[in-house]
Chains A and B, each alone.
Chain A
């Protein structure tokens, strides 16, 4: 028997997400009549404030889009500008950028797993409550988060808005003594990362398979992170410069972030999309862990994304060790850069998914035009699609409280970064 039911679920401020958003669901006669992930953070107009600024200032500016993934913004921006200027950075700088990026994956994923998502699976409402139930697990998570931050600090001086990356490479090469000390810590953390993967795989994970298109960077010889071509699960493979020919953005009334579309539909980017597209590129030890966790690829259950994150932490630790174990400092951490008038695009894999930048410069290297598409605006349409399917599968007849909690958990599966997503939106002026 289906009960006719009118119910309005409103979560005015979503907890445990980065930035501020809200969820509105209207249920009429046992069906979802309206569902909105409302993103109402005011736009900060980064694309406009980049105009006229020197290329050298761009890494310091775009870092401020997101305190949680500033490395992703810096890495994407410097590569887009290097493409615009025809600059080829050294193999040393490419390796070190990948190592630094590993630090951001480790810290951001560890933060998301422990502080934001795990409480959903373990029936508590915050990491503070979780720490009295499972103190060892929380301590392990905070340690991994701190280690990721240390890896960023090695190359950038601080983990939020680091200062070491420049167009052409790095301002400074880390001292071998500091690198060696950190490599030792990374080694020591490997067993903890393994325990973490098994811990998350043991969560009571809801069975919620859905059909979706995955989009992620791809590289033939490695698990793509800092570079690569943009691939999709339907076989698409394009250069970052072709992004706009295949992906579009449109505005919706309830969000200050644009919704992205691929072939007129929603798509997924982020850790689960990366595993689905690039799982075969993972090194053997990581593939073994993957098998052990029981995620079959391709995986269609977004609740498994927490396990995907823990697997990527293990991968990022191994990858940073691989790169840094034979570390030799460079006498020229940055190549000389001669700015020119041009256009350059680049994409990288931010912890929460594909991040795309494009810049147009004048002959003195000043920014004429900037376009930035963050991962959360790409995932936004998919989140709404998922919410509708998940809540219907969960059972709309359930108590309001349960539906609200499930809705919030679904949103957290995407690790949305709302501060990122709203950096450039259209605005109406209210003159006071």
Chain B
């Protein structure tokens, strides 16, 4: 009797408004990419070759934020065709850097440009995927790492729920025995409120964490706001630290707004 080989899991990688950097978490895997292709079937992954955007799949990885009416329709189809939907990176998970325009008067930005007719349509606000459809797993980071996507893929292949680290960058710095840039040099570091996963690379380069992995669990934003003010940052500068790569993440959005309204004491 021949052994029953389970069918390969079918995977799609979809792109919305983004820099392509999170898809590189797959394309930079090297030989692991070929190994992954043995374990799963990439039904749709345009940058790598296969194009079948409406394929029914077990797992859909989604890069990029939703920013046009067409995107809204497309993400609905992606959701309908996928058993499990995973957002990869800051754009898909928290709107990404382009969501900064949500904080400005978009009309003003448009008024600053040419009078010639425009053929591009866009939504008033750039939103993360979860604002439109149900998301089963969010992978944070700008960009996500190969380790994150492989760990998620392996967990799903084994039928268990993947775990995402929600610790703060500070803890990662301690584990690595990095010298704290804020305590020793007064650098305005976002490590105390930022989710780890990057390996605390910025502090290990002697510079500030700029929160590219988004908010950690249970953050104390008012305390960091006071600390940053104590380092001499104006209210607007403190707000800009929260309103950067992950400005549409609720914890950072409200922290930045609170910083703008905060009184100096």
User: What residues of chain A have their CB less than 8 Å away from a CB belonging to chain B?
Assistant: 13-20, 40-45, 48-49, 53-54, 57, 60-61, 64-68, 70, 107, 111, 115-116, 119, 125-129, 131, 138-139, 142-143, 145-146, 149, 157-161, 163-164, 166, 171-172, 251, 253-254, 256, 417, 419, 425-432
Contact = CB atoms under 8 A, between A and B. Distances in A.
Contact of B17 (A42, A54, A66, A127): A42
Contacts of B143: 67, 158, 160-161
Nearest to A157: B201
A431 B124 contact: yes
Given A15-B49, A54-B240, A145-B30, 5 more contacts: A18-B47, A49-B98, A67-B23, A145-B28, A432-B124
Interface stretch (B113-121, B155-163, B256-264): B113-121
A43 B101 CA distance: 11
B97 A49 contact: yes
B135 interface: no
B30 A48 contact: no
Contacts of B205: 157, 163-164, 171-172
A191 B242 CA distance: 48
Nearest to B28: A149
Interface string B72-114: 0000000000000000000000001110110010110110111
B34 A60 contact: no
Interface string B36-50: 010000100011111
B21 A125 contact: no
Contacts, number: 192
A26 to B, nearest CB: 18
Interface of B: 15, 17-25, 27-28, 30-31, 33-34, 37, 42, 46-51, 53, 67-69, 71, 96-98, 100-101, 104, 106-107, 109-110, 112-114, 116, 118-124, 142-143, 145, 198-199, 201-202, 204-207, 210, 212, 237, 240, 244-245
Contact of B120 (A14, A129, A159, A425): A425
A428 B122 contact: yes
Contacts of A53: 240
A42 B245 CA distance: 18
Given A146-B28, A163-B207, A419 B20 contact: yes
A251 B114 contact: yes
The 10 closest A-B pairs by CB, nearest first: A67-B21, A126-B49, A157-B201, A44-B98, A67-B19, A160-B21, A426-B118, A160-B143, A428-B118, A67-B20
Given A128-B34, A159-B28, A431-B124, A48 B71 contact: no
Contact of B204 (A20, A66, A119, A157): A157
